């Protein structure tokens, strides 16, 4: 049993002067400062800092670009105005973020409302011992679904789904169509991540449940899901983040009218679609107002990621640190 | 043992050096834009309407000037104007005339393009009056029956805020952006055509060139006549079609060297076949020396008369 924990070949004990850290707490040898390990460590850290720095720079850039709008129009007016006509002068135009915020929220809620139950059900079925000839092709199909580019979904939505919805309830390009396409797109995220969270549940617990005479449903509901809770919630939250950020497919099927939707079949505009549609053509203040919308989106996604982290119980911060000296 | 340790060490060193190099390369990047015309690289950015045409012209220009690279990027007329102004691009592309606050720029018209209303091919409507178009777009006419069609709700397809097609359409019909009651807002021409082709009760407006090309290719759309003039590339060419616009190259200072060669080439008869191939309309007689603000030149080029 102890051999399994050793990094080197089992049976041959680690030499006492090994430069490698043993166990969780790093035991850094005296000569560490000049060893290849330390050089690698510095390089990797540098890369890490650079990539984190890029995120910081993106945030700063978006803030800088949004600043004219935040300063001259102001967030209160962006929330108080009722319409989005940003092309004119600051005094005449109206710069409400509500229509796009409402659109983004509505489409995302609809998409996750459809995708989460389906994805979780799929993960549960995969988890509870589907025969292999069924499970493997199903899994491959789900992975394929994850790999299809979003513009393909959008094109399918525009040429197939929207005309169908239109025949049923015009104008077709609507909140309903957008939510449906988005649900199909985020389904693999929910399903695959939830499945891998369920796969992480200790088999001993499952066997224990079987030994107690629980049926499959009870095992799933009372053992597997509670044990994989944080992973499953992360799966859903990451899917929400993806839904918030999706642009092309939603732009093609949801109508993009900047108006708060009143029904499922009203056209809606998301923040991402708003930016994609208008950025190339926007003048000074218009452009800045679009960046303000982008900032809101960035903050929303940041909030979701933080929530995700928190749900994971701060596992990251508990990881052993290489830098810790003893 | 010590040898093997050193080996692993140097291996790791190699890895870390590689990583460092990666970092350095990422960090360096390539200072984008700011085309260096002297070194044979010309950057052209702007209108997505002109970009496909400009790309073709650039290809032909490159084949005649070995060693020259013309980089065409899209992003809309506003970007073309902003980039020409800031010097990020050697030339900007703008599918509209210059506005008053852009008077310091020079515009070189290269072609004209008409904008027409389109409906689904199954829609019996052939032509709409000015009042009917205004009624449909402002929402006072919401059923095709009121415009002489079958009993079905109208799906109004509008362009996104800031697009030059929208500005041209609004100006022609004397409308304001706020008055439009749209059901679908679209970005580029192709998206508009796909939306109308997929919805028998939709009406939209797109570039005539693209619409005529797609209709000929079997896409189920019909181009509506305007004020009794058929929406065809030929009527835009003859100047009869009332809803047309000029496609311009924009620059902040009088072009020199290779850039001047490119502008002259784009305005010469040598590219007329390319312009027609992309369903735009060549200018009849390109002006040699564009006037500052180029408005008179522009108007005479598209002598079309849209009375707005």
A85 bridge partner residues: A94
Do residues B211 and B278 touch, judged by C-beta distance below 8 A? no
What's the full length of chain A, in residues?
326
Q: How far apart are CA A174 and CA B156, in angstroms?
A: 13
List pLDDT tens digits, range A239-267. 999 999 999 899 999 989 988 888 899 99
The predicted pLDDT at position B285 comes to 52
Q: Which are the contacts of A108, defined by CB distance < 8 A and separation ≥ 6?
A: A182, A240, A243, A244
Q: Is residue A66 part of a domain?
A: no
User: Which H/E stretch holds residue B9?
Assistant: helix B2-28
The closest alpha carbon to B281, from B301, B261, B265, B300, belongs to B301
What residues of B are in contact with residue A257 (Cβ under 8 Å)? 158, 182-185
Whether the bond into A48 is cis, omega within 30 of 0: no
List pLDDT tens digits, range A172-210. 889 999 999 999 999 999 999 999 999 999 989 989 998
Q: How far apart are CA A174 and CA B63, in angstroms?
A: 47
* Residue contact A86–B183, C-beta within 8 A: no
Q: How far apart are CA A254 and CA A256, in angstroms?
A: 6
| C-alpha distance from A237 to closest chain B C-alpha (Å) | 30
**A vs B: CB pairs below 8 A:** 127
- Whether B291 has its CB under 8 Å from any CB of chain A: the answer is no
For residue B248, give Cα distances in angstroms to B106, B212, B301. 9, 22, 11
Specify the higher pLDDT residue, A186 or A17. Answer: A186
Q: How far apart are CA B243 and CA B307, in angstroms?
A: 9
List pLDDT tens digits, range A222-240. 999 999 988 899 899 999 9
| C-alpha distance from B305 to closest chain A C-alpha (Å) | 26
* Nearest-Cα residue of chain B relative to residue A82: B178
Specify the higher pLDDT residue, B115 or A88. Answer: B115
The closest alpha carbon to B196, from B164, B248, B154, belongs to B154
Q: How far apart are CA A309 and CA A318, in angstroms?
A: 12
Q: Which residue has the tokens 């050089």?
A: A39
* Residue contact A162–B16, C-beta within 8 A: no
What DSSP letter does each residue of B104-127 carry, written as one string? TSEEEEEEEEEEEEEEETT----B
Nearest to A85 among B177, B185, B198 (CB): B177
| C-alpha distance from A278 to closest chain B C-alpha (Å) | 6
For residue A56, give Cα distances in angstroms to A49, A59, A271, A297. 10, 5, 21, 15
ipTM of the complex: 0.71
List pLDDT tens digits, range A110-137. 999 999 999 999 999 988 878 888 889 9
The closest alpha carbon to B81, from A313, A281, A152, belongs to A281
The DSSP secondary-structure symbol of B223 reads E
Q: How many domains does chain A have?
A: 1
Do residues B121 and B222 touch, judged by C-beta distance below 8 A? yes
The predicted pLDDT at position A59 comes to 93
* Nearest-Cα residue of chain B relative to residue A250: B186
* Residue contact A282–B78, C-beta within 8 A: yes
Q: Is residue A102 part of a domain?
A: yes
Which of A263, A280, A287 has the highest number of chain B CBs within 10 A, making it the mutation to test binding with B?
Answer: A280
Do residues A249 and A157 touch, judged by C-beta distance below 8 A? yes
Whole-number mean pLDDT of chain A?
84
What residues of A are in contact with residue B183 (Cβ under 8 Å)? 170-171, 173, 255, 257, 267
* Residue contact A281–B13, C-beta within 8 A: no
Q: Which residue has the tokens 């003859």?
A: B238
The predicted pLDDT at position A33 comes to 58
Residue A321 has pLDDT above 60, yes or no: no
Q: Which are the contacts of A195, defined by CB distance < 8 A and separation ≥ 6?
A: A122, A123, A126, A127
Reduce the DSSP state of residue B132 to 3 states and report it.
helix
* Nearest-Cα residue of chain A relative to residue B22: A47
Nearest to A40 among B16, B79, B161 (CB): B16
pTM of the model: 0.71
Reduce the DSSP state of residue A66 to 3 states and report it.
helix
In degrees, to the nearest 5, what angle opens at C-alpha B59 toward C-alphas B53 and B61?
A: 100
Q: Is residue A126 part of a domain?
A: yes
Domain that holds residue A235: 97-320
Which of A31, A160, A281 has the highest number of chain B CBs within 10 A, making it the mutation to test binding with B?
Answer: A281
- Whether B171 has its CB under 8 Å from any CB of chain A: the answer is no
The closest alpha carbon to A50, from B20, B126, B128, belongs to B20
Reduce the DSSP state of residue B91 to 3 states and report it.
strand
> Where does the pLDDT of residue A19 fall: very low under 50, low under 70, confident under 90, or very high at 90 and above?
low
The predicted pLDDT at position B27 comes to 39
Residue A285 has pLDDT above 60, yes or no: yes
| C-alpha distance from A4 to closest chain B C-alpha (Å) | 24
Pair type for strands B41-46 and B91-94? parallel
Q: Which are the contacts of B146, defined by CB distance < 8 A and separation ≥ 6?
A: B135
Q: Is residue A8 part of a domain?
A: no
Specify the higher pLDDT residue, A152 or A311. Answer: A152
Percent of chain A residues past pLDDT 90, beyond the cut: 45
What residues of B are in contact with residue A251 (Cβ under 8 Å)? 187
Do residues A133 and A268 touch, judged by C-beta distance below 8 A? no
List pLDDT tens digits, range A31-85. 555 788 888 999 999 999 999 999 999 999 999 999 988 888 888 888 888 888 8
Q: How far apart are CA A45 and CA A42, in angstroms?
A: 5
Which of B11, B152, B165, B184 has the highest number of chain A CBs within 10 A, making it the mutation to test binding with A?
Answer: B184
Which of A171, A265, A288 has the highest number of chain B CBs within 10 A, making it the mutation to test binding with B?
Answer: A171
- Whether B198 has its CB under 8 Å from any CB of chain A: the answer is yes
Structure tokens at A59: 């945030």
At A154, give phi and psi (nearest 5°).
Answer: -60, -45
B119 bridge partner residues: B203, B222
Whether the bond into A171 is cis, omega within 30 of 0: yes
Reduce the DSSP state of residue B217 to 3 states and report it.
coil
Q: Which residue has the tokens 């703008």?
A: B94
Per DSSP, helices labelled H in B29-98 are 51-64, 77-86
Per DSSP, helices labelled H in chain A are 36-72, 75-80, 98-127, 132-147, 150-156, 162-168, 175-199, 203-211, 216-218, 225-227, 229-245, 248-253, 271-278, 284-311
Check which CATH number belongs to the domain holding A217 and give it. Answer: 1.10.3720.10
What residues of A are in contact with residue B22 (Cβ under 8 Å)? 47
Do residues B111 and B249 touch, judged by C-beta distance below 8 A? no
Structure tokens at B248: 């311009």
Q: Which are the contacts of B59, defined by CB distance < 8 A and separation ≥ 6?
A: none
What residues of B are in contact with residue A43 (Cβ under 8 Å)? 16, 19-20, 23
The predicted pLDDT at position B204 comes to 94
Reduce the DSSP state of residue B70 to 3 states and report it.
strand
At A266, give phi and psi (nearest 5°).
Answer: -80, 150
Reduce the DSSP state of residue A209 to 3 states and report it.
helix
What residues of A are in contact with residue B155 (Cβ under 8 Å)? 166, 170-172
Nearest to B182 among A85, A158, A257 (CB): A257
* Residue contact B199–A85, C-beta within 8 A: no
What residues of A are in contact with residue B153 (Cβ under 8 Å)? 170-171
The closest alpha carbon to B69, from B100, B114, B99, B38, belongs to B38
* Residue contact B177–A267, C-beta within 8 A: no
Task: Spell out the per-residue pLDDT of chain B, length 308, in tens.
Answer: 333 444 444 454 444 444 444 444 443 333 334 445 556 889 999 887 788 889 999 999 999 988 899 999 877 787 888 889 998 999 999 988 888 888 889 999 999 888 999 999 999 988 889 999 999 999 999 899 888 888 888 999 998 887 778 888 998 999 988 889 889 998 878 888 988 998 889 999 998 888 888 899 999 999 998 888 888 888 888 888 888 888 999 999 898 888 999 999 999 988 988 888 777 888 865 444 444 444 443 333 333 333 33
Q: Is residue A297 part of a domain?
A: yes
* Residue contact B187–A277, C-beta within 8 A: yes
Q: Is residue A16 part of a domain?
A: no
What residues of B are in contact with residue A37 (Cβ under 8 Å)? 12
What residues of A are in contact with residue B158 (Cβ under 8 Å)? 257
- Whether B150 has its CB under 8 Å from any CB of chain A: the answer is no
Q: How far apart are CA A112 and CA A179, in angstroms?
A: 8
- Whether B140 has its CB under 8 Å from any CB of chain A: the answer is no
């Amino acid at each position: 049993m102890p051999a399994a924990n050793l990094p080197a070949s089992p049976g041959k004990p680690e030499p006492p002067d090994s430069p490698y850290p043993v166990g969780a707490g790093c035991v850094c040898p005296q000569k560490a400062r000049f060893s290849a390990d330390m050089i690698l460590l510095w390089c990797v850290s540098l890369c890490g800092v650079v990539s984190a720095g890029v995120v910081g720079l993106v945030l700063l850039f978006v803030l800088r670009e949004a600043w004219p709008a935040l300063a001259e129009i102001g967030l209160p007016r962006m929330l108080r105005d009722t319409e989005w006509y940003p092309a004119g002068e600051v005094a005449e135009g109206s710069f409400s973020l509500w229509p796009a915020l409402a659109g983004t929220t509505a489409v995302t809620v609809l998409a996750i409302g459809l995708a989460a139950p389906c994805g979780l059900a799929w993960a549960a079925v995969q988890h509870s011992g589907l025969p292999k000839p069924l499970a493997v092709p199903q899994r491959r199909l789900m992975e394929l679904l994850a790999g299809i580019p979003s513009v393909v979904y959008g094109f399918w939505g525009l040429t197939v789904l929207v005309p169908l919805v239109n025949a049923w309830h015009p104008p077709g390009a609507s909140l309903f169509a957008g939510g449906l396409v988005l649900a199909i797109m985020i389904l693999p995220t929910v399903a695959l991540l939830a499945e891998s969270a369920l796969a992480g549940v200790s088999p001993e617990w499952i066997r224990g449940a079987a030994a107690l005479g629980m049926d499959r449903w009870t095992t799933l509901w009372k053992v597997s899901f509670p044990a994989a809770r944080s992973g499953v919630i992360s799966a859903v939250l990451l899917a929400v983040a993806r839904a918030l950020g999706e642009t092309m497919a939603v732009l093609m099927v949801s109508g993009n009218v900047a108006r708060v939707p009143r029904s499922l079949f009203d056209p809606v505009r998301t923040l991402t679609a708003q930016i994609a549609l208008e950025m190339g053509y926007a003048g000074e203040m218009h452009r800045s107002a679009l960046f303000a919308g982008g900032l809101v989106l960035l903050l929303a996604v940041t909030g979701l990621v933080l929530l995700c982290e928190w749900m994971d119980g701060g596992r990251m911060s508990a990881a052993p640190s290489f830098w810790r000296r003893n | 043992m010590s040898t093997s340790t050193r080996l692993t060490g140097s291996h790791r060193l190699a890895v870390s050096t590689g990583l460092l190099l990666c970092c350095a390369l990422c960090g360096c990047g390539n200072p984008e834009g700011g085309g260096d015309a002297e070194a044979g690289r010309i950057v052209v950015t702007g209108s997505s309407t002109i970009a496909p045409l400009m790309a073709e012209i650039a290809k032909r220009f490159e084949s005649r000037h070995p060693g020259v690279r013309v980089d065409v990027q899209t992003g809309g007329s506003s970007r073309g104007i902003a980039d020409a102004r800031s010097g990020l691009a050697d030339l900007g592309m703008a599918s509209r005339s210059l506005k008053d606050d852009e008077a310091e720029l020079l515009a070189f018209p290269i072609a004209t393009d008409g904008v027409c209303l389109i409906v689904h091919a199954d829609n019996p409507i052939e032509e709409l009056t000015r009042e009917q178009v205004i009624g449909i777009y402002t929402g006072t006419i919401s059923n095709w029956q009121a415009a002489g069609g079958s009993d079905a709700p109208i799906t109004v397809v509008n362009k996104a805020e800031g697009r030059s097609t929208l500005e041209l359409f609004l100006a022609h019909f004397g409308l304001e952006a706020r008055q439009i009651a749209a059901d679908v807002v679209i970005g580029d021409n192709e998206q508009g055509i796909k939306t109308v082709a997929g919805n028998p009760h939709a009406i939209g407006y797109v570039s005539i060139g693209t619409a005529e090309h797609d209709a000929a290719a079997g896409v189920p759309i019909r181009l509506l006549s305007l004020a009794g003039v058929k929406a065809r590339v030929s009527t835009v060419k003859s100047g009869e079609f009332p809803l047309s616009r000029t496609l311009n190259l924009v620059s902040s200072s009088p072009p020199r060297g290779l850039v001047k060669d490119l502008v002259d080439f784009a305005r010469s008869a040598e590219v007329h076949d390319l312009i027609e191939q992309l369903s735009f309309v060549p200018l009849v007689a390109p002006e040699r020396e564009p006037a500052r603000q180029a408005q008179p030149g522009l108007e005479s080029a598209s002598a079309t008369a849209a009375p707005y």
